[in-house]
Every structure is written in C-alpha cells, then in structure tokens.
Amino acid sequence: MQVVATLSLKGGVGKTTVALGLAGAAQQHGVRTLLVDLDPQANATIALDVGDTTATVADVLDDPRRSVLRRAIAPSGWGEGLDVMVGAEQTERHNHPDPGAKQLSRLTRALGRLLDADDEDAGDAEEHDLGPYRLVVIDCPPSLGQLTRSALAAAHRAVLVTDPTMFAVSGVQRAFDAVQTERQRGNPDLQPLGVLINRVRPRNAEHEFRVAELRELFGPLVFSGVLPDRSAVQQAQGACVPIQSWDTPGAREVSAVFTTLLGRVLRSERRPRTATAPPPTR
C-alpha cells in the first residue's frame, strides 16, 4: 500500500484538485484507492459525493480502531474502486501547532489497521468492506500543524503543489523543508515525489517566468508536465464527477497530466529508498 500526501503550505493553489485528479486517475486504471480528507474544509469529501457516515476522520484521530475506521470510510459517488475517509470541520480540533509523538502517530496507526490480516472488529453485513487498497491519497490542509505533520508521518511520498505566482518559490521551499524535517524526526521512508505546478496559463509571460524560476531553483524535483488552467476542472468538481469523465479537450489535457502523475507514484512504490539532496535555498 503506497501512501501519498498532497501538500502545500500556500493556500489556494489547487492542492485538493491534485488529490482528486490523482484519485480519479487511479480509479480509471483499476487501482483501488482510499482518499483521506484531512482538510477541515472537507472539499474533497464534497466533490467525491460521499453519502452520510456515522464517523469522520476526526473520530479516527480520536480513536484509530478498525471499528471506527469502518464507520468513517464510505464509497465515493464516483463509482467502484475509490473510497473516502470522510472529512469534517471537527477535524480542526486535531490541528495543534505543537503536537506530541502520540498525536502524530494516530493516522499512521489507523492506516496500519487497513493492512491487518485479522479483522477483529468486523462489523455487520451492511458495513462497507475496507480495502485492500493499493494507493492511499491524503489531502492535507494548507498549514503545518498536527494534521499535515500526521500525514507526512504516515506517507511514503509527498506531492508538493504550487502555482506560478511570485510566492511559489517560498511555498515550495517551506513544503520541502517540512518533508525533510519529518524524515529526520521519524519517517525515513518519506520522500518528496516532486513539485507539481498547477493553474498554468499558456502564453502568459508571468506564468512562464515563474515556471522557469521554479525549474531553475528546484531542478528535477519539478515535474516536466504542468497542470493547465482549464475551466473543465471547476466544472467537473461542481458536477461531482472525476475530471477523467469530463469529455472536453481541456479535461483530456488535464487528465493526461494526472495519468502521468499516477505512473510516477506507482513506479516509486517499487523503487528502493535513497537519500534526497535538498534543493538550493533562496
């Protein structure tokens, strides 16, 4: 089971869009996936058209037993192969600025329950079956508190999401530093998968300058493909369907980037862990 966190410490860059796009690509290619909505805004849960549950990720962080997981995970409205650990505003109570080790380990423990061979807490026939999942995508909040750090403590890879604006470099640097810090604190398996630049407009001089700046400073850490700014993304999210099923040229262009991202995620699962040199600081 590969765990990937979508991370940004700068708000409004489309981090949830990336989490949804990656999950949609996985579903399209038959990769059974769980999306963990760790953002208290719960936008991913809304876009995935999840039905009512008797628990949320906030309850899982209170008590990461398998029985609670069962009540917090539900099938998405997008169809088979994609489940959601539903988000809620109450998750904010777990976003302490300086959490202890026990608090940070709860999400890791909960995800570990998905791999348990013995289903001691199995529910009745009406409950949704858990897993087995090949991929877990964690949508983090845009801040470095307990929630984001919990995601990094549980993840194997982190996708650093940014946009082509003047604050992009500092945002990526902060996110990269957060990943490196969490590796040193106790998750040596964590690696930055790369920097994904979102909402890029073609033939926009400012955007071209910022993309070039990011590539110069962060080198191969920046994905070669960028996500174009297309109205199809908002249209698909508004209709609560994956971008992969929105049949427009713009949607197909965006979907191709997410397919490439999925391939990189799955290839990284088979790759041995190596040290990652930090990018140059500005």
* In the chain, where the domains are located: 2-269
What pLDDT sits at residue 120? 47
Phi, psi of 37 (to 5 degrees): -90, 95
Q: Which two tokens stand for residue 97?
A: 């600025």
Which region among 18-32, 147-161, 208-222, 267-281 has the lowest average model confidence (pLDDT)?
Answer: 267-281
What mean pLDDT comes out for the span 33-37? 98
What mean pLDDT comes out for the span 202-210? 94
**In the predicted model, is pLDDT for residue 200 greater than 50?**
yes
Query: String of b and e for 228-266 (b: at least 16 CB within 10 Å)?
Result: bbbebbeebbeeebbbbebeeebbeebbebbbebbeebe
Identify whether the C-beta of residue 276 lies closer than 8 Å to the C-beta of residue 191. Answer: yes
Q: Tokens 């493909």: give the residue.
A: 225
What mean pLDDT comes out for the span 215-244? 96
Residues near 111 by Cβ (< 8 Å), separated by ≥ 6? 1, 3, 36, 136, 154
What mean pLDDT comes out for the span 45-54? 95
Residues near 125 by Cβ (< 8 Å), separated by ≥ 6? none
What mean pLDDT comes out for the span 239-254? 96
CATH fourth-level superfamily of 2-269 = P-loop containing nucleotide triphosphate hydrolases (3.40.50.300)
What pLDDT sits at residue 125? 38
d(Cα 202, Cα 267) in Å, to the nearest integer?
29
What mean pLDDT comes out for the span 130-155? 94
Question: What is the value of pTM for the model shown?
Answer: 0.91
Confidence band (pLDDT; 50, 70, 90) for 114? confident
What pLDDT sits at residue 208? 95
Dihedral (Cα; 45, 261, 269, 34), 10-degree rounding? 10
Half-sphere exposure of 202 (CA within 13 A, CB side): 5
What mean pLDDT comes out for the span 19-31? 98
Q: Is the peptide bond before 40 cis (omega within 30 degrees of 0)?
A: no
Which region among 16-25, 93-102, 244-253 has the lowest average model confidence (pLDDT)?
Answer: 93-102
* Listed residue (222, 26, 15, 17) closest to 136, CA to CA: 26
Average pLDDT, the chain: 91
**In the predicted model, is pLDDT for residue 271 greater than 70?**
no
Element (H, E) at 23: helix 15-28
* Listed residue (49, 27, 96) closest to 245, CA to CA: 27
Identify whether the C-beta of residue 118 lies closer than 8 Å to the C-beta of residue 82. Answer: no
What pLDDT sits at residue 115? 79
